[in-house]
Amino acid sequence: MTFIRKYKNFLLLLLPFLFIQSSLVPKNDFEEDEGIWSGIVTFLEKQTGKEIVISEWRMEAKITNNKALAIHSFKFKDQNNNTSDCRNTEETELELGIDYETMKYSISVAMPGCYGKRVNGGETTDFAQTDETAIVINDQPLKDPNILEGTTTEKSSGGENETMSVTTYTWRLIRTSKKKQLSSQKTNTQKPSISQPFKKETWSGTVTWSKTSAGKARVVSYDHGFENVHRWDNYMAYHTNVNFVNSKGIVFRADTATKWEKDSAIFIHPQNIYMIEETNTKIYRKGKGDFDLEVEFSDDKKTYWISFFGPICPEFMSFERRNNIHGNSSDSSIKSDAGQQITLPAAFAGHPVGPNPNILSGTFEEIIPPNPDDPASQAIITRAKWELKKVK
């Protein structure tokens, strides 16, 4: 389970309870890890809705030897050109605990509050997205005590504006000192942990991954006998390509997303004229970075998964509105988009090992069908292909 602690006062009330609870748990059940870790932990919440142009809440911790640079930001804009923005940066620390009996771990990184400005109806006021908070990731399965990584996504929707919220946590931490062995590794050399037999193996080859979606529609409604028309055309294409040599490679990432809308709505009173509004939103990301390939096999070595991280990219966003009554407006921004982890196949069962265990190849396809109420019939299609050969 993952969650965010939002309010400092709540934490002050909670801490005595946590202290009491911890005193009742045997010390060997939960162990504060003493290792030195480096990596990244991120939180991203995106909201979409009828009135929302952009709504993104981000927290990112870049960790080096348990010390972290925390970046906390929020950006919001609605169709009435009301905005809320904040961005704060602060040095903080990683907190990490591992329970070697249940084989689970938890991560926490304190984050600064996010304070900025809000513009509403042309009036500017102070704005606070949240007080001091933290990225908290709880009860994750421990596979390798020296590499902690994963991605979780939570979705929710509702409200009169049909707001959809998607929250994504990503993390990748590598122990840089005090390498930890599980007790089973120490006492039974014939039965090491899952990842131990393959630690020295390296793989070379290629991986391609893409996520695409496209849809357009025209919806007509009537108001007092007048025709209202809403048109839209959405497009998304995310591509990641990598060539691995000895399990190391440069990951290339290029993402494009566009959203076009045009409304013709009647003003019944007093003029009976049409308001015509056209909007264009474009998002573009491109970047590359050096990342390691991870190959993990099941206990019986009949199935496997491969995974790697993608680079953090600059995100270029442009927005343009043309309105024959309210006038025209435009906006643009440049910011960092959190890198993503790609795991293939994206299925619990893994991919079967072929007749030659030194060659790992396969394809993956996932099609998320469109919402039956979506006239654009916009499915989300993910496809991937990999060809890898063991070097040693």
Give the domain-ending residue among 138, 155, 186.
186
Give the start-end residues of each E strand in 100-193. Answer: 104-111, 114-120, 123-130, 133-141, 147-158, 163-177
> Looking at the structure, do residues 329 and 389 belong to the same domain, yes or no?
yes
> Looking at the structure, do residues 180 and 211 belong to the same domain, yes or no?
no
Assign 29 a pLDDT band (cuts: 50, 70, 90).
Answer: very low
> Looking at the structure, do residues 181 and 204 belong to the same domain, yes or no?
no
Count how many residues are written for the chain.
Answer: 392
194 lies in some domain: no
Residue 189 φ then ψ, to 5°: -70, -15
50 lies in some domain: yes
192 lies in some domain: no
State the total domains in the chain.
Answer: 2
Query: Which letter does DSSP use for residue 380 in this model?
Result: E
> Looking at the structure, do residues 91 and 156 belong to the same domain, yes or no?
yes
Residue 271 pLDDT exceeds 50: yes
pLDDT for position 203: 95
* Average pLDDT taken over every residue of the chain: 81
Q: How many CB atoms lie within 10 A of CB 317?
A: 20
pLDDT for position 19: 31
107 lies in some domain: yes
8 A C-beta contact, residue 332 and residue 195: no
pLDDT in tens, 107-134: 999 999 899 999 998 889 988 888 888 9
> Looking at the structure, do residues 180 and 259 belong to the same domain, yes or no?
no
pLDDT for position 347: 67
> Looking at the structure, do residues 162 and 215 belong to the same domain, yes or no?
no
Q: Which residue has the tokens 């009135």?
A: 51
> Looking at the structure, do residues 53 and 141 belong to the same domain, yes or no?
yes
195 lies in some domain: no
Phi-psi domain of 369 (left: phi exceeds 0; alpha: psi -120 through 50; beta: other): beta
8 A C-beta contact, residue 5 and residue 136: yes
CA atoms of 392 and 387, how far apart (whole Å)? 16
Q: pTM for this structure?
A: 0.53
Structure tokens at 200: 């020295």
Structure tokens at 119: 């513009």
193 lies in some domain: no
Q: Helices (H) and strands (E) in the chain — how many of each?
A: 2, 24
> Looking at the structure, do residues 211 and 269 belong to the same domain, yes or no?
yes
CA atoms of 278 and 261, how far apart (whole Å)? 6
* Side chain identity at residue 370, one-letter code: P
Helix, strand or coil for residue 198? Answer: helix
292 lies in some domain: yes
Which of 225, 198, 234, 181 minimizes the C-alpha distance to 376? Answer: 234
> Looking at the structure, do residues 175 and 282 belong to the same domain, yes or no?
no
Give the domain-ending residue among 186, 211, 245.
186
Structure tokens at 349: 């069962």
Phi-psi domain of 356 (left: phi exceeds 0; alpha: psi -120 through 50; beta: other): beta
8 A C-beta contact, residue 54 and residue 332: no
Give the domain-ending residue among 153, 186, 219.
186
191 lies in some domain: no
CA atoms of 20 and 2, how far apart (whole Å)? 22
Assign 200 a pLDDT band (cuts: 50, 70, 90).
Answer: low
pLDDT in tens, 59-75: 998 888 888 888 899 99
pLDDT in tens, 283-326: 999 999 898 998 988 888 899 999 888 888 888 999 999 999 88
> Looking at the structure, do residues 108 and 215 belong to the same domain, yes or no?
no
- Quick one: what percent of the chain has pLDDT higher than 70? 83
Domain that holds residue 91: 1-14+21-186
> Looking at the structure, do residues 274 and 332 belong to the same domain, yes or no?
yes
Query: Which letter does DSSP use for residue 145 in this model?
Result: T
pLDDT for position 195: 36
CA atoms of 163 and 387, how far apart (whole Å)? 40
> Looking at the structure, do residues 142 and 244 belong to the same domain, yes or no?
no
Which of 68, 44, 36 minimizes the C-alpha distance to 170? Answer: 44
Residue 160 pLDDT exceeds 80: no
